[in-house]
C-alpha cells in the first residue's frame, strides 16, 4: 500500500463519522429557555444522531464537510412546538370522521354522507358528527329514512353538533336492536314517527347510548390510521412533541407499532388513562424513553371535575347562572389521594384535570399533603387550571405544581365563563401571568381535538387575550397576558420540562435533539393578528425533515 | 502528519470494526440442520453484532485480532436449544411459589411455610402447592388453624399435590368472605369442622375457586420477577429460545420491559392467549422481530380439547376406561374455523392444542379447508398431537402442518395412555417417527412447567422411548423413537423454523445469531442414560455468555 493510498484512506475514514452530519444554514434562528431567555443563531449543525452539535452565529466558521446542507434563505426557525395537552387519537379519529358541520341543508348533508361512504368502501360503519337541523332550516329532526336515502348498505350514525343527539339509519337501528318496543331510558328520548311508536331515527341525550353502543370498537388498523393522521396534522402545525392525556393500552400499542416499524415521526409523552392503563402500560413505573426519545409513558391522567360549559366544573360557590349548583367532584378527597398515591408510589407523574376553583384547591391540597410522603422531583401537574381562587394562585409556585393550560380556551370560553361565574370571580380565570408570577411553570397546549391543534392561535391568545376576531378590544383581563418570550417558552422548553423531556427536546442547544420548524415570520416580532397567520414551512424532528409545506421555500439541499 | 502516524492510524481504524469480535475456540462443535445433517467444527468466530461470522475447522487459520477469545478446552458445543412449547410465566411463577411436595409431615410443612413467609416479607399473600396429607400420615385434611399456626399475619392458600383441593388459613377465609353460611358449590365441597358448619380450611374441587378467586392478580413487579426467574431456569438448562404458548398482554408487557431495559436474555416466540390478546398485542399482524431477534409475537394459541388424564381429550371412540365418554371439544367446528380464519386473515400463525385423535383430525380438517383461502407460508401448528389416528398421520406432512410435540409426555403418560386408550389405539400415540416420516416438521419441547424444562430428558426420551428409570426395557413402541440427529434438529433448527426464526437462530452457521451451549458430553454419542445426565456448562446468546455453571470449565478468556 502506497503512501498516497494511506492518505486518502485516512481522509475517508476520518470523514466517515461526520458523514451524516447536516448543516441547516442561513436561518433566522430562535430558541428560548425556561426563563424566557432568547438565543439567536443563523445555523444549526446537526450530528449523525440527529442532535444539535452546535448553533452557529453569522461569524462562526461552518463545518468543512457535511453530508447534507440546507439553505434556509433567511427563514425564521424556532424549536419544534411542544403541545402539553392533546388527545392524539382523538385528533386522528376526529379527522377521519365525516364532518357535517359545514352543511347548509339536509340535501347537502345527504350528498356529503353519500360521498364519504363512497370514499371509504371498507368501513363497516359510517360515523360522523356536526349536523344541525336548525342551520338546515328543517324545523324538525331528520329521519332514518332520510339517512337511508344517502346510505342504506351499511349502518350510519351521526352525532348532532352539540353532542346531545344521534341520528341513525335503519341498519344502525337494526344493529342496535331498537324497535317500537324500545322504551325511552331515564334522561333520554327516542324520537318517534308521527302517530306511531316506531323510532324515527334520532336519539336525544341518554337515548343516544342505546344506538351508539352498537358501533364496533376501533380495530388495530383504525388506531394506526388515527395515529398516522394525528401525526400528519400535528407535524404540519409545527408541533413536534405532545403530552397525550389519557392514553389507553390500545393507543399505546399503536404507538409502539409506530416506533417498532419506523413511522413514529414525533414525540409523545403519554399519560395513561387512569390507574389500570397506567399499570398495564408502564408496569412497575414509567417506561424508559423509547425510539430515540420519541415515546415514554410518563404517568397518569386523573380527573377531579368536569367542564365549565356543562356546569360540571366544581366551584367553591354556586354558579352565577345556576344558584343551587356548585358542580360536582368526580372523586372524593380520599379517592383522589388514593389514586395519586398509588401512582406516586411507583414514581409515575401525576396530571390531574381540574377546571373549577374548588377542584383546583382540592388538587393543591392533595399535592401539599402527598408531597410529605412523595418527595423529590415529582412535577405534579394540574391540567387546565382554568378557574383558580386568587388565594390559591401562589400555591402553584409554592408547591412546584406545573400549570398545564390552553390559551385558546380563554378566547373560546370567555363569554360562557362570564355567564357561569359572574364578574366577581374572573380575576383567577385563565390567570397565566399570575400563576407564572407565583413561580409556577406554565406549559401551554391546545386540548386538541377539543380545540384546533394550531399552536399559533394559542400563542396569539397568550400574548393578547383576544380571539381571532380581535375581540375584546385591548384583551380580556389583559393583565393576564404573557410576554412573547414566556409564551414561546411555555410552548417549547417548559412543555418539555413538564414531561421530563428537558435536555432531549424543547430547546435548540448542543446535545438536544434537533427538532425545529421553519416559519414565514418571526413570532417574537409579529402582532397577534400576524402570529395567527403564521405558516409552517418545514418541520424537522431529530435532524430529519418530516414535513414541507406545498409551495414552501425551495430550500437548497445538496451533498457537499 | 508523518507517514508513520498515518500507518498506525490506518491500522487502528482498520482494527476498529473487528474490535468486538469474539473467538470461541478449541471446542467439539456440532450443528444440525433441518434435514438432520450434522456439521462439526472446532471454533466459532463471532462478529460484533453477535452473529456467527465463520465456523472454523481445526485446519482453518484463526482471525488475527479478536477482542475476546475463549478456550473451550475441548468441550462439546451445540446450538442453543429451542423449546417449542413452554409457558414462560408459568415456569417463573411456579419456581417462585412455595413447594411443599417434599414435606413428610404436617410439622415439616408448617416449618417450610413459616420459613417461606419469613423469606418473602413483602408478599401480601403466601401461595403454594404440593401438600399431601397422605404422605404426612395425617389420616385427615389439615385445618385452617394448623395453617394459622405457621402464618397468621397474612392470607395463605396452598394447593394440594393433585390440584384438586386448596388449604386456606383464617385470613384467606376472611379475604374470600367464606364463613358458616357459605354453601357448597355444585361439584365442590367445603370441609367443615366436626359437628359444625364452620369451614375447616380445605376446599375440594369446585369449592377451591371460592377462595382462590380472592388471591390478588399478579402485579407488574410479580410478572417481571417471574420472567427473570424463568429466563434464569431456561438458560441454565441450555435453552436459548422458546415458543411461549398463551401469552397474555400482561406477560407481553413484561417481556417488552425486559427488552426495553436490557434484561431480555433469551429469545421468545410468543403465541397470544386467544384472539383478544392476539389483537391487543399484535394489532394488525405479527410484530416485527424486536430486540435483536429476542422477541416476536408470531401468532395465536387456540384450544380444541383438553387433556388425556382428565379424559378431556376428544377421541374418535370412547375412552377404554370410560365407555360412554369420548371427551369433548372446547369449541365446535365452526367456531374453530372462525378463530383460525380471524388469525390467518391478518397473517398470524395459528397453533392449536389438540390431544385426542378426534381433535387432531378436526384441526387437520380445518387446516385443509382454510389452506384454500389462506395460502402461502402459513406454518400451521398442532400443539401436542399426542393421539393421532393412523389414518391421519400422513396428513401432517401432506398439509405442511408442524407437529409441536413434547417427548417427555410420552414417558410420563404411557401408563395412563394405555389405560385411557386400550392396546388397540396406541400405534398413533406420541408417533414422532411416523409423523416425521410423512414429511411433517417435528418441533420438540417440554410444556414446562407441566414438565421440567430440562431438554436433555426430552432428547433421551426421544431417542429411546424410555423414562428416567430406563423403563420399559427396549422402549415403549420403540419404532417411534427418532435418531439422535433428528431429535437434536427438532430441538434446534426445526424449533426455530416452526416459529419463523430460521436464519436468525437454531443453527450455527454464518449469519445466524451465535446462540450456543457448552456441554460436558456429546449428545450424538451419549447413551440415553448419559444424555439425561448432561451438564450445561455455559450458555451463550447472541455472542454473549449469559450463564456459566458453578465449577464449570474455567474457560480462558483474554483480550488479544
Query: Residue B260: its chain A contacts at CB < 8 A?
Result: 287-288, 290
Cell of B250: 400482561
| Strand residues in B106-174 grouped as ranges (E) | 126-131, 156-160, 165-168
Using DSSP, state whether B393 is helix, strand or coil. helix
Give the pLDDT confidence of B270-322 residue by residue, as tens digits. 999 999 999 999 999 999 999 999 999 999 999 999 989 889 999 999 999 99
Question: Does residue B421 have a pLDDT over 50?
Answer: yes
- Of the residues B10, B258, B300, the best mutation for testing chain A's interface (the one with the most A CB atoms within 10 Å of its CB) is B10
- Residue B378 CB partners (closer than 8 Å, separation 6+): B344, B349, B350, B371, B400
Cβ neighbours for A310, distance < 8 A, ≥ 6 positions apart: none
- Residues in chain A with CB shorter than 8 Å from the CB of B7 are 6
Q: Which residues of chain A have pLDDT under 50?
A: 1-19, 554-560
- Return the number of CB contacts < 8 Å for A and B: 64
Kindly report the nearest CA distance between residue B287 and chain A, in angstroms. Answer: 8
Q: A260 touching B, CB under 8 A?
A: yes
C-alpha cell, A229: 393522521
Please enumerate in sequence order all residues whose Cβ is within 8 A of that of B243, keeping only pairs 6 or more positions apart, or say none: B82, B83, B84, B85, B86, B269, B270, B271, B298, B351, B404, B443, B445, B495, B498, B499
Are residues A288 and B261, on separate chains, in Cβ contact within 8 Å? yes
Q: Is A348 on the interface with B (CB under 8 A)?
A: no
Ramachandran angles phi, psi of A281, nearest 5°: -80, -50
Would you tell me which residues 194-233 of chain A have a C-beta closer than 8 angstroms to some C-beta of chain B?
Answer: 219-221, 223-224
Q: In chain A, which residues have their Cβ closer than 8 Å to the Cβ of B249? A: 249, 280
Identify the band that residue B552 occupies on the pLDDT scale cut at 50, 70 and 90.
Answer: low
Residue A119 CA to residue A171 CA, distance in Å, equals: 19
Give yes or no for B290 touching A (CB within 8 A): yes
Of A49, A13, A19, nearest to B15 (Cα)?
A13
pLDDT tens, residue by residue, B205-264: 889 999 999 999 999 999 999 999 999 999 999 999 999 999 999 999 999 999 999 999
Angle at B372 between CA B368 and CA B275, to 5 degrees: 75
With cut-offs at 50, 70 and 90, classify the pLDDT of residue B556.
very low
Closest alpha carbon within chain B to A17: B13
Instruction: Report chain B residues whose CB lies below 8 A from the CB of A7.
Output: 6
Nearest-by-CA chain A residue for B17: A13
Asked if B531 contacts B459 with a C-beta cutoff of 8 angstroms, the reply is yes
- Tell me the three state secondary structure of residue A222: helix
- In this structure, what C-alpha cell is assigned to residue B59? 485446519
A271-300 pLDDT, tens digit each: 999 999 999 999 999 999 999 999 999 999
Quote the distance between the C-alpha of residue B106 and its chain's center: 33
Q: Residue A499 has which C-alpha cell?
A: 414531561
Average pLDDT, chain B: 93
Per-residue pLDDT, A265: 97
Please judge whether A284 and B219 are an interchain contact, meaning their C-beta atoms are less than 8 angstroms apart. yes
Does the pLDDT at position B5 exceed 80? no
Distance, in Å, from the CA atom of A432 to the CA atom of A463, rounded to the nearest integer, reads: 10
Q: Exposed, middle or buried, B104 (CB in 10 Å: 0-12/13-18/19+)? A: exposed
Taking the Cβ of residue B284 and every Cβ of chain A, the question of whether any pair is shorter than 8 Å is answered with yes
For residue A515, give every residue at least 6 positions away whose Cβ sits within 8 Å of its Cβ, in sequence order, or none: A79, A80, A240, A241, A267, A505, A506, A540, A541, A542
Q: How many other CB atoms are found less than 10 A from the CB of residue A497?
A: 22
Compare CB distances from B6 to A6, A254, A261 and report the shortest one's residue: A6
Per-residue confidence (pLDDT) for residue B1, from 0 to 100: 36
Q: Which of A13, A222, A276, A345 to mutate to test the interface with B (most CBs of B within 10 A)?
A: A13
Helix, strand, coil content of chain B in percent (nearest 5): 35, 25, 40
Distance between CA atoms of residues B209 and A389, nearest Å: 53
Residue B59 near residue B31, CB atoms below 8 Å: no
Give the closest-approach CA distance of B8 to chain A in angstroms.
10
| Predicted TM-score of the model (pTM) | 0.90
- In angstroms, what CA-CA distances link B382 with A268, B361, B443, B529? 41, 11, 10, 30
For residue range B378-416, list pLDDT tens digits in order: 999 999 999 999 999 999 999 999 999 999 999 999 999
Please answer whether residues B500 and B349 qualify as being in contact, where contact means their C-beta atoms are separated by less than 8 angstroms.
yes
Q: What is the pLDDT of residue B161?
A: 85
According to DSSP, the residues that pair with A68 across neighbouring strands are A22
Partner-chain contact B283 A3, CB within 8 Å: no
Which residues from B are below 8 Å from A290, CB to CB?
Answer: 260
Which residue has cell 350528498?
A: A111
Nearest CA in chain B to A285: B220
Q: Give the nearest partner residue to B224 out of A9, A256, A284, using CB atoms.
A: A284
For A:262-281, CB contacts with B below 8 A are 279-281
Cβ of residue A259 closer than 8 Å to a chain B Cβ? no
- Calpha distance A422→A463 (Å, rounded): 24
Q: Where are the alpha helices (DSSP H) in B237-356?
A: 249-260, 274-282, 333-345
Q: Is B477 helix (H, G, I), strand (E, B) or coil?
A: coil
Amino acid at each position: 500500500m502506497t503512501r498516497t493510498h494511506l492518505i486518502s484512506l485516512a481522509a475517508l475514514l476520518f470523514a466517515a463519522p461526520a458523514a451524516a452530519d447536516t448543516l441547516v444554514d442561513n436561518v433566522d434562528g430562535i430558541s428560548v429557555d425556561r426563563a424566557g431567555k432568547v438565543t439567536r443563531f443563523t445555523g444549526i449543525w446537526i450530528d449523525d444522531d440527529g442532535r444539535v452539535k452546535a448553533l452557529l452565529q453569522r461569524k462562526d466558521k461552518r463545518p468543512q464537510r457535511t453530508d447534507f446542507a440546507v439553505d434556509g434563505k433567511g427563514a425564521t426557525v424556532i424549536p419544534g412546538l411542544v403541545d402539553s395537552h392533546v388527545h392524539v387519537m382523538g385528533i386522528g379519529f376526529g379527522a377521519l370522521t365525516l364532518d357535517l358541520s359545514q352543511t347548509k341543508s339536509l340535501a347537502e348533508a345527504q350528498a356529503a354522507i353519500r360521498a364519504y361512504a363512497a370514499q371509504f368502501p371498507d368501513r363497516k360503519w359510517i360515523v360522523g358528527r356536526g349536523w344541525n337541523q336548525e342551520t338546515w332550516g328543517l324545523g324538525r329532526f331528520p329521519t332514518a329514512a332520510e339517512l337511508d336515502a344517502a346510505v342504506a348498505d351499511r349502518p350510519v350514525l351521526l352525532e348532532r353538533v352539540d353532542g346531545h343527539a344521534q341520528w341513525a339509519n335503519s341498519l344502525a337501528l337494526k344493529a342496535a336492536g331498537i324497535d317500537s318496543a324500545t322504551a325511552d331510558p331515564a334522561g333520554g328520548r327516542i324520537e318517534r314517527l308521527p302517530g306511531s311508536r316506531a323510532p324515527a331515527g334520532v336519539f336525544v341525550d341518554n337515548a343516544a347510548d342505546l344506538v351508539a353502543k352498537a358501533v364496533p370498537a376501533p380495530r388495530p388498523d383504525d388506531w394506526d390510521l388515527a395515529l398516522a393522521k394525528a401525526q400528519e396534522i400535528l407535524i404540519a402545525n409545527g408541533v413536534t412533541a405532545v403530552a397525550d392525556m389519557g392514553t389507553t393500552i390500545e393507543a399505546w400499542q399503536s404507538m409502539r407499532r409506530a416506533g417498532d416499524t419506523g413511522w413514529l415521526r414525533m414525540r409523545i409523552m403519554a399519560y395513561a388513562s387512569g390507574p389500570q392503563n397506567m399499570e398495564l402500560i408502564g408496569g412497575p413505573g414509567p417506561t424508559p424513553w423509547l425510539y430515540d426519545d420519541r415515546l415514554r409513558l410518563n404517568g397518569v391522567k386523573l380527573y377531579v371535575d368536569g367542564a365549565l360549559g356543562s356546569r360540571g366544573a366544581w366551584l367553591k360557590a354556586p354558579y352565577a347562572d345556576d344558584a343551587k349548583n356548585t358542580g360536582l367532584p368526580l372523586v372524593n378527597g380520599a379517592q383522589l389521594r388514593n389514586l395519586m398515591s398509588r401512582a406516586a408510589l411507583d414514581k409515575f407523574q401525576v396530571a390531574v384535570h381540574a377546571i373549577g376553583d374548588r377542584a383546583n384547591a382540592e388538587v393543591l391540597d392533595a399535592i401539599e399533603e402527598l408531597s410529605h410522603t412523595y418527595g423529590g422531583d415529582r412535577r405534579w401537574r394540574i391540567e387546565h387550571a382554568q378557574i383558580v381562587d386568587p388565594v390559591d394562585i401562589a400555591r402553584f409556585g409554592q408547591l412546584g405544581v406545573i400549570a398545564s393550560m390552553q390559551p385558546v380556551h380563554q378566547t373560546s370560553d370567555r363569554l360562557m365563563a362570564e355567564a357561569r361565574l359572574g364578574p366577581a370571580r374572573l380575576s383567577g380565570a385563565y390567570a397565566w401571568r399570575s400563576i407564572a408570577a407565583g413561580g409556577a411553570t406554565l406549559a401551554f397546549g391546545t386540548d386538541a381535538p377539543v380545540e384546533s391543534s394550531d399552536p399559533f392561535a394559542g400563542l396569539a391568545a397568550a400574548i393578547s387575550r383576544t380571539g381571532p376576531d380581535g375581540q375584546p378590544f385591548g384583551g380580556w383581563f389583559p393583565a393576564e397576558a404573557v410576554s412573547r418570550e414566556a409564551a414561546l417558552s411555555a410552548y417549547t422548553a417548559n412543555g418539555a420540562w413538564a414531561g421530563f423531556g428537558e435536555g432531549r427536546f424543547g430547546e435548540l442547544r448542543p446535545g438536544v435533539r434537533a427538532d425545529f420548524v421553519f416559519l414565514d415570520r418571526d413570532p417574537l416580532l409579529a402582532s397577534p393578528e400576524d402570529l395567527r397567520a403564521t405558516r409552517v414551512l418545514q418541520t424537522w424532528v431529530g435532524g430529519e425533515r418530516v414535513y414541507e409545506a406545498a409551495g414552501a421555500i425551495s430550500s437548497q439541499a445538496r451533498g457537499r
